[in-house]
Amino acid sequence: MSRIQNLINAETIKNRHSFIVLSLWLLPLVTTVLASFLLAGKQVQQAIFNWWYMVMLPIEVALISSCLLENDKKQNYFNLKLTPVPALKICLAKIITGCCYLLFTNIIMMLLVLGVGSLFGKQLFPEQVLQATILLTVCFAWQIPLGLLLELKLPAILTLIMMFIANVFFASQTFAGSKTLWLIPFAIPARLMAAILGINPNGVLLAKNSFLHARNVILPGVLLTIALFGILLVILGHYFKEDKL
């Protein structure tokens, strides 16, 4: 465990001067300012969260994934192949670091949403904001190993574009509110946010009789994304372990 902790510390130090560290608080701030300016006093808390998980968070996750491999990729993974540390531990450290970044940026978003609520009036209870933060972290975590897998094979900009398009396209109400939800994991966060925050993926408040209010999708959604995280972790670990970099 101490070896993993040292590797995580090394990843953090390696990235401390990169754009990714700046983006962890910059993207939540930009989201909050834009939504507050355009919708001050009118469901602004829901709007901030909606813009966050529909647009900015997918960008953030893709940035995190590409950043974790950027320096290594520039060296053709030469540094990873020479290190005496097992490649599997390096892989695990990178994923844990990415998940910590994801949690950190979601916490920043949570604090900003709570702050905006105190300024313009609360449309969400603090427990709703906390639940949304936890669920967004858990349900987006599987995209960290997915992004790393794509980054191994594709240029960083292509990885970012593909992940962004997949999130925006599949998180639309067409998929998030359909029976095919469980076949499209990109749609799960938007569906769960509808139940927690009471908003459609397009940002419009749910009708009182909308079936999207139902919370029975939360547990299956969480379990499915956790299982997907585990599967992608095993696949990514195989690439590192078998020296397929």
What is the C-alpha to C-alpha distance for residues 39 and 144, in angstroms, rounded to an integer? 31
Helix, strand, coil % in the chain, rounded to nearest 5: 80, 0, 20
pLDDT score of 219: 95
* Of 14, 7, 25, 1, the residue nearest 101 (C-alpha): 25
- Tens of pLDDT along the chain (245 residues)? 567 788 888 878 887 878 888 999 999 999 999 888 776 556 788 889 999 999 999 999 989 988 888 777 766 766 666 677 777 788 888 899 999 999 999 999 999 999 988 887 777 899 999 999 999 999 999 999 999 999 888 888 888 899 989 988 887 767 777 777 788 899 999 999 999 999 988 888 888 898 888 899 999 999 999 999 999 999 988 877 665 55
What is the C-alpha to C-alpha distance for residues 236 and 88, in angstroms, rounded to an integer? 9
pLDDT score of 85: 74
What is the C-alpha to C-alpha distance for residues 185 and 224, in angstroms, rounded to an integer? 8
Name 205's bridge partners: 199
pLDDT score of 1: 55
Q: Measure Cα distances from 230 to 26, 154, 218 in Å.
A: 30, 22, 18
Give the side-chain half-sphere CA count within 13 A for 186: 21
pLDDT score of 124: 87
Instruction: Give this prediction's pTM.
Output: 0.91
What is the C-alpha to C-alpha distance for residues 21 and 67, in angstroms, rounded to an integer? 10
* Of 3, 8, 2, the residue nearest 94 (C-alpha): 8
